[in-house]
Structure 1
């Protein structure tokens, strides 16, 4: 892997770890700050809201800046946000810190991919993007379990310090190896933003948001689900997160392969299977062996749907390539923001913790409905020509 691409991939790894690691340390944060699990779950919402706001806004506002200084600035904000999380004296300050850390993530992903593609040899753009995106998979496979172990043994604040330290080390590599590049050529800001008026773009974002709500809600509360419902020990949670991450890696390749062959039909099929798996998880979550197996399967399906959703957003937002990847990230984070609140509502209501699986299945069915509607529109072009 070329060193410039490796540098960008390592940043993606640290940012992904910073986003998902909260799932593994959620009970520790709640206990230390004397807040409920649902309240701690809002930390996922805060980070997601940062990405939702930052994705389109920061991307458009910084579109005319030279890429390398912009990347350095974005990483620096992330480092400061994670350090702020580590020293947060209470829950409200931690919420603000997570929001700040999330502000720059979607824009960084967009710029990192554009930068990597610009350095790629002819006909190697797709494989170069895959190398940068590998950081996301490694963040879940390795970063999240390792961050969880750090939090369980050294305290949850040490987890955020570790994320900040790794991001800073990756920043040094970016400074050393990523070449300076001019700002990307973009149209007027209003022209870029007009992409949101497209019905196809709106449906693509809705598919990404609604289709991910169910499984993201389950993942946000995976630690208490595994310990309180499936009765695994706390020390087993990092191992099961590793199992989930292994499934996510498999799903990423499977989803990409399927999407290349039949984009919307494969997405609809994967969402249908995911809904069934979440419902099955609800039924057998009290048994450890099925729970462990379904944790892997859930990881496969959760990430198998992402390549197709990303492709759908990028193709429909083709008139505004600067925003395409950032819009997709914001759509996913709409799901994450809602998931933090939704899981808390389920737990504090009469449904109980275990019902998160069933609620997740129902929301996945809603995503399936959107996918089927898009598929029908695609097959009837006269309706929306």
Structure 2
């Protein structure tokens, strides 16, 4: 892995860890700050909302800043936000700190994706993006379980101190490894927002929302599914989730390789495979070994779609790739929240846990339809700049 991409991956690892590790620490945070579990759960929702709303605001704020300086500034916000989390005296300050941290998330991945793609030959751009996102997948495989274990052992604040340290390490790596001059386009607010009139760009953003919603409509409730439907013990669930994380890592690499070949066709193939694998999981979830195999394949497909989607958004918004790429990160997070809400609505309406994969099938099928529509527009409309 080239050193600049490694530096971006280290930063992605820290950002991914801080986003998801809070889920494993909710009981500890709630107990320490004397709030309810649902109130602590709002720390997760607030982060996702911070990414969705903050991403375009921050991207526009740094639009004309040199790329290295922009990325260094964003990792600085990340370090500050996690430091505030570690020392937060109460719930309100912790909530504010989570939102501050979230503001750097979308813009960093958005700008970082464009920078990563520009550091390599044109036929390796998707692989470069996938290498950066390897940090995010490893955050789920290693960062979240290790951070959860650390927080449970010595207190949840220790986890945020550790993530702050990862942020400092990432800042040093970015300072040393990124080129001082990175090619960029001068941006104008009018031109940046013009991309929102581009039907092809909106199609990709919509696909990102639906694909992410497909994942989180079921994955949000994967622990009760594995315990109550499949029959795994809590300890075994942890191992199954590790298997899912390994699938994410494999999928990110696979998606990068195939997206460099034919991004639209690979995206469509992955989405159709997600529809199939979730349909299969609705059956295999009742048996341990088949469920484990299906979950690994599901994880692989879930992240295989990320590189082609990032490639498409950059290609279809060539006049404002940083804003478009950043908006795509907001779209993923909007999908996270939407999927969790859809799954919760289904359960609240009386649907059994075993039916949740069909919610994922429906939203993934929507992503397939939107991608097909985008392909048909592609044949009739010029790629907009």
TM range (shorter): 0.7 to 0.9
> Which residue in the other structure is 2:271 paired with?
271
TM-score (norm 2): 0.85
Deviation per CA, 1:284-337: give whole Å up to 9, x if none: 323322222222111011012222222221221112123232122122122113
Cα 1:4–1:302 shift into 2, 3 Å:
closer
> Which residue in the other structure is 1:55 paired with?
55
Give the Cα–Cα distance (whole angstroms) in 2 for the partners of residues 92 and 291 of structure 1.
40
Give the Cα–Cα distance (whole angstroms) in 2 for the partners of residues 308 and 163 of structure 1.
29
Give the Cα–Cα distance (whole angstroms) in 2 for the partners of residues 43 and 285 of structure 1.
30
> Which residue in the other structure is 1:171 paired with?
171
Q: CA deviation at 1:196?
A: 0.8
> Which residue in the other structure is 2:256 paired with?
256
> Which residue in the other structure is 1:296 paired with?
296
User: What count of residue pairs does the alignment treat as equivalent?
Assistant: 382
Q: CA deviation at 1:205?
A: 0.6
Give the Cα–Cα distance (whole angstroms) in 2 for the partners of residues 24 and 299 of structure 1.
19
SS of 1:64 mapped into structure 2: coil
Q: CA deviation at 1:213?
A: 0.5
> Which residue in the other structure is 1:105 paired with?
105
Deviation per CA, 1:181-222: give whole Å up to 9, x if none: 479431321111111111111111111111220112323333
SS of 2:305 mapped into structure 1: helix
1:159 is aligned to 2:166: no
Cα 1:29–1:180 shift into 2, 3 Å:
same
> Which residue in the other structure is 1:236 paired with?
236
> Which residue in the other structure is 2:246 paired with?
246
Q: CA deviation at 1:282?
A: 3.0
Cα 1:269–1:9 shift into 2, 3 Å:
closer
1:187 is aligned to 2:176: no
1:215 is aligned to 2:215: yes
Map residues 366-385 of structure 1 onto 2, 5 A cutoff: 366-380=366-380
Deviation per CA, 1:70-109: give whole Å up to 9, x if none: 3232112222323444455666655443332211112112
> Which residue in the other structure is 2:145 paired with?
145
Contact persistence 1:148–1:238 (CA under 8 A): no
Cα 1:152–1:298 shift into 2, 3 Å:
farther
Contact persistence 1:23–1:220 (CA under 8 A): no
SS of 1:103 mapped into structure 2: helix
Q: CA deviation at 1:67?
A: 3.5
Give the Cα–Cα distance (whole angstroms) in 1 for the partners of residues 231 and 87 of structure 2.
32
Contact persistence 1:213–1:338 (CA under 8 A): yes
Give the Cα–Cα distance (whole angstroms) in 1 for the partners of residues 176 and 351 of structure 2.
53
Contact persistence 2:212–2:333 (CA under 8 A): no
Give the Cα–Cα distance (whole angstroms) in 2 for the partners of residues 319 and 122 of structure 1.
17
For structure 1, which segment, 114-123 or 156-165, has the greater mean C-alpha deviation from structure 2 after superposition?
Answer: 114-123
Give the Cα–Cα distance (whole angstroms) in 2 for the partners of residues 289 and 217 of structure 1.
23
Cα 1:158–1:340 shift into 2, 3 Å:
farther
Deviation per CA, 1:149-183: give whole Å up to 9, x if none: 33444444433332222112222333444454479
Give the Cα–Cα distance (whole angstroms) in 2 for the partners of residues 156 and 333 of structure 1.
24
Give the Cα–Cα distance (whole angstroms) in 1 for the partners of residues 185 and 157 of structure 2.
41
Give the Cα–Cα distance (whole angstroms) in 2 for the partners of residues 56 and 202 of structure 1.
15
Q: CA deviation at 1:367?
A: 1.5
> Which residue in the other structure is 2:283 paired with?
283
Cα 1:274–1:92 shift into 2, 3 Å:
farther
Contact persistence 2:79–2:164 (CA under 8 A): yes
TM-score (norm 1): 0.85
> Which residue in the other structure is 1:196 paired with?
196
> Which residue in the other structure is 2:19 paired with?
19
